[in-house]
Amino acid sequence: MKQGSVGWNDMPAINRDLLAPLSPGGRGYVLLVVLLAAIVSAGAGAWIYQIETGIGQTNLHPPIFWSAYIASFVYWIGVSHSGTFISGVLRLSKAEWRRPITRIAELMTIISVVIATLFVFYHLGRSWRWYYLIPYPNQREIWPDFRSPLMWDATAVLTYATASTIYLYLPLIPDFALARDRIGGWRRPIYAALSLGWQGSQQQWQALNTAIRIITPLIVMVMISVHSIVGYDFGMSLVPGWHTSIIAPYFVVGAVHSGLGMVAIGLYLVRRTYRLESYIRLEHFDKLGKLMVAMTLTLAYFYFSDQLTVWYGKVPDHMAILHSLMSGTFAVPQWTMITLIYVLPLITLTIPAFRHWPLGMMVIGLCINVGMYIERMLILVPPLAHPRLSYNWSDYFPSWVELTIMAGSFALAVLLYVLAVKFVPIISIWEEKEGHLHGRESH
Partner 1 sequence: MSADQEKTPEARPHRWQMVIDLDRCTGCEACVVACHAENNIRISGAQEAAEGRAINWIRIERYWEGEYPDVKAKFMPVLCQQCADAPCEPVCPVYASYHTPEGLNAQVYNRCIGVRYCGNNCPYTARQFNWFDPHWDPPLQEQLNPDVTVRQNGIMEKCTFCVQRIRQGKEQAEREGRPVRDGDITPACVQSCPTTALVFGDGNDPASQVAQMSKSRRGFHLLESLGTHPAITYLKRLDE
Q: Under the criterion CB under 8 A, does residue 266 sit at the interface with partner 1? A: no
Site map 158..187 versus partner 1, x via CB under 8 A: ------------------------------
Could you tell me which residues are beta bridge partners of residue 64? 61
For residues 144 and 133, give the distance between their C-alpha atoms in angstroms, rounded to a whole number.
6
For residues 440 and 363, give the distance between their C-alpha atoms in angstroms, rounded to a whole number.
34
**32, 114, 150, 192: residue in contact with partner 1 (rule CB under 8 A):** 150
Q: Under the criterion CB under 8 A, does residue 133 sit at the interface with partner 1? A: yes
For residues 218 and 172, give the distance between their C-alpha atoms in angstroms, rounded to a whole number.
18
CB of 45 to partner 1, least distance (A): 19
Q: Under the criterion CB under 8 A, does residue 403 sit at the interface with partner 1? A: no
- Residue nearer to partner 1 on the CB measure, 133 or 170: 133
Stretch that binds partner 1, among 56-64, 82-90, 249-257, 258-266 (CB under 8 A): 56-64
Q: Under the criterion CB under 8 A, does residue 384 sit at the interface with partner 1? A: yes
CB 83 within 8 A of CB 105: yes
Could you tell me which residues are beta bridge partners of residue 3? 183
CB of 328 to partner 1, least distance (A): 18
Q: Under the criterion CB under 8 A, does residue 137 sit at the interface with partner 1? A: no
Q: Under the criterion CB under 8 A, does residue 123 sit at the interface with partner 1? A: yes
Q: Under the criterion CB under 8 A, does residue 126 sit at the interface with partner 1? A: yes
For residues 183 and 197, give the distance between their C-alpha atoms in angstroms, rounded to a whole number.
16
For residues 67 and 14, give the distance between their C-alpha atoms in angstroms, rounded to a whole number.
47
Closest CA to 164 of 234, 231, 79, 94: 79
Size of the site for partner 1 (CB under 8 A): 43
CB of 314 to partner 1, least distance (A): 16
- Residue nearer to partner 1 on the CB measure, 380 or 415: 380
Closest CA to 291 of 343, 355, 344: 355
**1, 13, 238, 353: residue in contact with partner 1 (rule CB under 8 A):** 238
**8, 14, 32, 63: residue in contact with partner 1 (rule CB under 8 A):** 63
Q: Under the criterion CB under 8 A, does residue 401 sit at the interface with partner 1? A: no
Q: How many CB atoms lie within 10 A of CB 10?
A: 10
Q: Which residues contact 368 (CB under 8 A, 6 or more apart)?
A: 257, 258, 260, 261, 292, 340, 341, 345
**14, 33, 55, 211: residue in contact with partner 1 (rule CB under 8 A):** 55
CB 70 within 8 A of CB 380: yes
CB of 55 to partner 1, least distance (A): 6
Q: Under the criterion CB under 8 A, does residue 230 sit at the interface with partner 1? A: no
- Residue nearer to partner 1 on the CB measure, 27 or 129: 129
For residues 210 and 169, give the distance between their C-alpha atoms in angstroms, rounded to a whole number.
14
Stretch that binds partner 1, among 50-58, 105-113, 257-265, 321-329 (CB under 8 A): 50-58
What are the Cα distances from residue 35, in Å, to 30, 118, 181, 347, 395? 9, 21, 33, 35, 34
CB of 331 to partner 1, least distance (A): 22
**25, 45, 144, 435: residue in contact with partner 1 (rule CB under 8 A):** 144
Q: In a 3-state reduction of DSSP, which class is residue 241?
A: coil
For residues 359 and 288, give the distance between their C-alpha atoms in angstroms, rounded to a whole number.
13
For residues 443 and 439, give the distance between their C-alpha atoms in angstroms, rounded to a whole number.
6
CB 142 within 8 A of CB 116: no
Q: Is 314 left (phi over 0), alpha (psi -120 to 50) or beta?
A: left
CB of 406 to partner 1, least distance (A): 18
**59, 159, 165, 298: residue in contact with partner 1 (rule CB under 8 A):** 59
Return residues touching partner 1 (CB under 8 A).
Answer: 53-56, 59-63, 65-66, 123-127, 129-130, 132-133, 142-145, 147-151, 154, 233, 236-239, 384, 387-392, 394
